[in-house]
Amino acid sequence: MGGSWARPMTGSRAAPPHDDGWAVPAPGRILDLVAGNRGRVVVADDDVLLREGLGSLLAGSGFDVVGQSGDPGQLLALVRQHEPDLVIVDIRMPPTHTTEGLDAARVIRSEFPETAILVLSAHVEVEQATELLASGKRSGYLLKDRVSDVDDFLATLDRIVKGAAVVDPALVQELLAARRVEDPLQVLSQREREVLALMAEGRSNAGIAHQLWVTEGTVEKHVRSILMKLRIPEAPDDHRRVLAVLTFLDSL
């Protein structure tokens, strides 16, 4: 993980710039963040140093850390007690260190469908990740060793809590490589597939434009075309983007 998660943020830290590819909180939310209204969160990881470091980072960045856990049983008890806005959980937890964390995440999604869930993993595990992400919005999957920028990480948490589905770029590449013969995305152009893959990484239109060296207006046209070609039903824009990402995940 490196030492970046153990560094608490201060109130004087500048907001992350818009051109780094990730959505940032709206200016009107700054007072909320300073006041500690970013959301209530439970952190679960059997690595005590990582768990305590992440908890410290979140507490110093406007989140209310209502509980920490080193095993899935305690995690479920904390979630049922506090009903947090966000749960951050490692896929592999005691006693067997296989899928206990993911199993707990499934229970949480079933009992508390409005709770956002971020799954952390040390490895790219396509099947396990897509199963959780395909269950609906407010979901995320990140590789631990790729979380190297605090501002990007916190902005990603904000997006997940607000309803986004966010996928680690490494997993996106695995998904692209493992697509089925009957590809539901075959109606999309190559550029539209690139835009959809970046949407799956949780990037905003501005972030996608920066990544592809095109204008934001061009990205908006591609997004509209993607939604039309995939026959995504009319709904609020954020929800339609999530549905498009879920179609992408279902293309395995």
SS3 call for 225? helix
Per residue in 11-26, pLDDT (tens digit) is: 444 444 444 433 444 4
- Identify the structural domains of the chain with CATH numbers, from first to last: 4-9+30-172 (3.40.50.2300), 180-249 (1.10.10.10)
Residue-wise pLDDT for 86-143, tens only, equals 999 998 899 988 889 988 998 999 899 999 999 988 876 666 666 666 666 788 888 8
- Check pLDDT > 90 for residue 176: no
**Residue, of 183 and 106, whose pLDDT is higher:** 106
Closest by Cα among 250, 45, 34 to 147: 45
**Mean per-residue pLDDT over the chain, rounded:** 78
CA gap 198, 209 in Å, rounded? 10
Taking the C-alpha atoms of residue 135 and residue 147, their distance in angstroms, rounded to an integer, is 24
User: Helix %, strand %, coil % for the chain, to 5?
Assistant: 50, 15, 35
Least confident of 47-56, 108-117, 175-184, 207-216: 175-184
